[in-house]
Chain A
Amino acid sequence: MTTVREQTAPALQTLPGPRGLRARLARRRGQGDEPEQRRVLSSSDWRRPAVKWVWRAMHFLLLLLLLVCCVGPIFLLVKFAFTPTQDIQATPLKFFPNGWTLDNITMAWTRYRIGKYFLNTVWVALGSWFCQVLVATTGGYVLSVLRPRWAKALNWAVLTTLFVPAVVLLIPLYKIIVNPPIGDSLINNYFAVWLPAGASAFDVVLVARFFDSLPREVFEAARVDGAGPFRVFWSIVLPMSRPIIGVVSVFAVIASWKDFLWPFLVLQSDTVKPLSVYLQSMANVDKGTLMAALAISTSIPIVMFLLFQRMFLSGAGTGGAVKG
């Protein structure tokens, strides 16, 4: 990490090119200890004691606030999961006044069978993930690499849907699920969630833009060697686009984990109901059990987030806003 420290040396600050490159490399190497890219405060600012202490204090305050406001509620949730119901209700902020218990967890798991609904959510997420990746990669391949004459019209048609707010789709989509063009009603069928999830213009645009950035020469070379469009897609484009597929996957899984209204409308039977819909119906059970159920269903997304932080945080920067 010595190079990282060197970076802040004023002499290097004047060289824009290599500094940027090194900063980027170092950022990739080190996790949290990011080398200082020049921001508002310069090194000379940092040397002034007044500025230094004011900003240090503000940073410390911010850390406290983040711990209390962002982590606090989640910490309380975990604590509630192991606290007897009476204590949760009478003294929610006391730290295990009468000891802790595993009853809530076992109750949620065995009597309310959280595990089963957990599995349903996994199915919902997996299918939505597959649908989104399939549509986004094949669609992106057509729009960016194959580029038939009608690609422009198609691109335009996909882009327009980005500007249609979700409200408009709700009821007509429900009508289509109840009376699909082929076959019987899809209510209580996972396909009712999987297929509409695939119609994500955001994913298609993201993947197509990534494909645009792949070097064309590789495709040309493969074609010269006699690879057809399917071969190029499977053996060249897909392996090269692992990063973007990762981003799309994380978003897809998280989105289906969070989704409530749509599964609530179309997956109502107990055999297919995902966790989010089930939790809503649990709202009035014993508080301890409810808190345990909530804690269990939060654990997976949080573990996923901590494992794939980089993907989440960079993905949110690129376009999380559009996805909402």
Chain B
Amino acid sequence: MSTVAETVRPSPGPSPDREVPPGTRTPPGPARRTRSPRTWLQGGGLSSLLFALPLLLVFGIFSWWPIISAVVMSFQKTNLIDPAQWVGLDNFRAVISDPLMPRVVANTAWFALLALVLGYPVPLIGAVLMSELRRRRGLYSVLAYLPVVVPPVVAVLLWKFFYDPGPAGVFNTILGWVGIGPVGWLNSQTMAMPSLVLEATWAAAGGTVIIYLAALVAVPPELYDAAEVDGASVWGKIWHVTLPQLRGVLFITLILQIIGTAQVFLEPFLFTNGGPNHATETIMLRVYNLAFTTLGSNFGQATALSLLLAVFLAVLSIIYFRLTRSWSQS
């Protein structure tokens, strides 16, 4: 890094003898460019480097290098003990031909879809209602945000108790009041996934509400006045002004939610550990099982799968932004 800085750093300022702090916006001195280490030092090159050091070290070791090494590992057979072996595309082949893979992908897609159906409209309706409050909006937002601050492990363990399949379980008691009889929740292959999604939505919706509220404040009030002059009703204003104005935020939260739910791990891991009969095993849980449970311990395959997921999400986001670009700006 330092060599780059030495060669391109311009002469720092009008008086090269005095220590001139870097980044000064004084116009660069007359066309005299001595690119010696000495001028670099005097120009504050060293202090810039010192300040960048924590970032360079931490990002270098814990962010940039792991990203590169993920690509490398996906072509290797490696388990941390034996020396790594190059195996070409074998990991990818193994991952794709894994008999569990269609199930796992379908489960993840099912989770993402349910989370969208359940978790996308609810915060929007809540936020639109809340932004019309004339008083105590703070109270409403605090209440809505409360579940977000509950630690996820706590939320899952608590809800796991709520989902007790016996007739005395919390949710089954409530359903019992209206005469619906005990549901299997996490023990049932069909109900397990919706149960997970319900908890995940509970834990995340508050954050989305706050984002929408911030976006609603930014809607120019003149638009409402104009709509009113044109005789729009309240619903007309919401439909023709509020929602179109929220488009940009709605598009972003949609793709962020898909990216987030595609990597869901905590709920399936803690609620059901993938069961019953693999009904809730998601891609991330599969990555975890490949890498860290004793039968797998196959880091190469796990990395290959995680890379495939990342590439899929990247392609999806690019297509998504291409498609929505024309709608979200205007």
Do A and B actually bind?
yes
Give 19 pairs: A residue, B residue, CB < 8 Å, sorted on A.
Answer: A32-B138, A38-B224, A39-B219, A62-B126, A70-B144, A70-B206, A147-B22, A149-B8, A157-B64, A161-B67, A165-B313, A175-B69, A176-B62, A227-B21, A229-B21, A290-B157, A294-B154, A297-B154, A309-B142
- Chain B residues lying within 8 Å of A245, measured Cβ to Cβ, are none
Min CB distance A55 to B, Å, is: 6
CA distance A58 to B126 in the complex (A): 10
CA distance A258 to B47 in the complex (A): 36
Q: Is the CB of B202 within 8 A of A73?
A: yes
Q: Is the CB of B263 within 8 A of A40?
A: no
Kindly identify, within residues 162 to 178 of chain A, every residue whose CB is under 8 Å from any CB belonging to chain B: 163-176, 178
- Chain B residues lying within 8 Å of A277, measured Cβ to Cβ, are 153
Q: Is the CB of A149 within 8 A of B5?
A: yes
Kindly identify, within residues 33 to 69 of chain A, every residue whose CB is under 8 Å from any CB belonging to chain B: 33-34, 36-42, 45-46, 51, 55, 58-59, 62-63, 66-67, 69
Q: Which residue of chain A has its CB nearest to the CB of B10?
A: A149
Kindly identify which residue among B9, B62, B133, B221 contacts A59, using a CB–CB cutoff of 8 Å: B133
A-facing mask of B163-191, CB < 8 A → 1, else 0? 00000111001100000000000000000
- Chain B residues lying within 8 Å of A59, measured Cβ to Cβ, are 129, 132-133
CA distance A153 to B202 in the complex (A): 41
Q: Is A126 an interface residue (CB 8 A)?
A: no
Q: Which residue of chain A has its CB nearest to the CB of B287?
A: A167
B-facing mask of A285-319, CB < 8 A → 1, else 0? 00100110010011001101110010011101110
Q: Is the CB of B59 within 8 A of A280?
A: no
Q: Is A31 an interface residue (CB 8 A)?
A: yes
Kindly identify which residue among A168, A176, A280 contacts B306, using a CB–CB cutoff of 8 Å: A168
- Chain A residues lying within 8 Å of B315, measured Cβ to Cβ, are none
Q: Is the CB of A287 within 8 A of B129?
A: no
Q: If A70-B143, A148-B45, A305-B146 touch, does A37 touch B221 (CB 8 Å cutoff)?
A: yes
Q: Is B55 an interface residue (CB 8 A)?
A: yes
CA distance A280 to B265 in the complex (A): 14
Q: If A70-B143, A170-B287, A195-B58 touch, does A161 touch B309 (CB 8 Å cutoff)?
A: no
Q: Is the CB of B9 within 8 A of A164?
A: no
A-facing mask of B7-42, CB < 8 A → 1, else 0? 011100000000111111100000000000000000
Q: Is the CB of A39 within 8 A of B146?
A: no
CA distance A318 to B215 in the complex (A): 10
Kindly identify which residue among B53, B69, B138, B168 contacts A309, using a CB–CB cutoff of 8 Å: B138
Kindly identify which residue among A13, A77, A138, A146 contacts B23, using a CB–CB cutoff of 8 Å: A146
Q: Is the CB of A302 within 8 A of B149?
A: yes
Q: Is the CB of A138 within 8 A of B52?
A: yes
Min CB distance A66 to B, Å, is: 4
The stretch among B97-105, B110-118, B237-245, B322-330 that forms the contact with chain A is: B237-245
A-facing mask of B43-63, CB < 8 A → 1, else 0? 011011101111110110111
- Chain B residues lying within 8 Å of A265, measured Cβ to Cβ, are 292
Min CB distance A270 to B, Å, is: 17
Q: Is the CB of A305 within 8 A of B145?
A: yes
Q: Is the CB of B168 within 8 A of A38?
A: no
Q: Is the CB of B54 within 8 A of A229?
A: no
- Chain A residues lying within 8 Å of B263, measured Cβ to Cβ, are 165-167
Query: What does DSSP make chain B's interface, helix, strand, loop or mixed?
Result: helix
Q: Is A26 an interface residue (CB 8 A)?
A: no
Q: Is B291 an interface residue (CB 8 A)?
A: yes
Q: Is the CB of A70 within 8 A of B66?
A: no
A-facing mask of B237-272, CB < 8 A → 1, else 0? 110011000000000110010011001011001100
Kindly identify which residue among B64, B151, B168, B219 contacts A258, using a CB–CB cutoff of 8 Å: B151
Q: Is A92 an interface residue (CB 8 A)?
A: yes
Q: Is the CB of B21 within 8 A of A228?
A: yes
Kindly identify, within residues 277 to 311 of chain B, every residue whose CB is under 8 Å from any CB belonging to chain A: 284, 287-288, 291-292, 299, 302-303, 306-307, 309-310
CA distance A150 to B23 in the complex (A): 12
B-facing mask of A65-86, CB < 8 A → 1, else 0? 0110111011011000000000
- Chain A residues lying within 8 Å of B241, measured Cβ to Cβ, are 40
Q: Is B213 an interface residue (CB 8 A)?
A: yes
Q: Which residue of chain A has its CB nearest to the CB of B67?
A: A164
Q: Is the CB of B135 within 8 A of A32?
A: yes
Q: Is the CB of B130 within 8 A of A62?
A: yes
Q: Is the CB of A73 within 8 A of B66?
A: no
Q: If A172-B69, A175-B73, A175-B299 touch, does A276 touch B45 (CB 8 Å cutoff)?
A: no
Min CB distance A202 to B, Å, is: 12
The tally of residues in A whose CB lies under 8 Å from a CB in B reads: 122
Q: Is the CB of A317 within 8 A of B213?
A: yes
CA distance A199 to B61 in the complex (A): 9
Q: Is A141 an interface residue (CB 8 A)?
A: yes
Q: Is the CB of B211 within 8 A of A316?
A: yes
- Chain A residues lying within 8 Å of B89, measured Cβ to Cβ, are none
Q: Is the CB of A302 within 8 A of B224?
A: no
Q: Is B94 an interface residue (CB 8 A)?
A: no
Q: If A165-B263, A313-B141 touch, does A138 touch B130 (CB 8 Å cutoff)?
A: no
Q: Is the CB of A37 within 8 A of B9?
A: no
Q: If A33-B135, A158-B55, A171-B291 touch, does A220 touch B170 (CB 8 Å cutoff)?
A: no
Q: Is the CB of A158 within 8 A of B59?
A: yes
- Chain B residues lying within 8 Å of A318, measured Cβ to Cβ, are 214
What 12 additional pairs, Cβ within 8 angstroms, besides A39-B219, A172-B69, A298-B150? A39-B216, A40-B132, A74-B146, A92-B161, A229-B48, A229-B51, A276-B154, A283-B157, A291-B158, A305-B142, A306-B142, A321-B252
Q: Is the CB of B146 within 8 A of A71?
A: yes
The 3 closest A-B CB pairs, nearest first, are A32-B138, A317-B214, A139-B55
Q: Is the CB of A32 within 8 A of B136?
A: yes
CA distance A90 to B20 in the complex (A): 75
Q: Is the CB of A62 within 8 A of B129?
A: yes
Q: Is B147 an interface residue (CB 8 A)?
A: yes
Q: Is A112 an interface residue (CB 8 A)?
A: no
CA distance A260 to B170 in the complex (A): 26
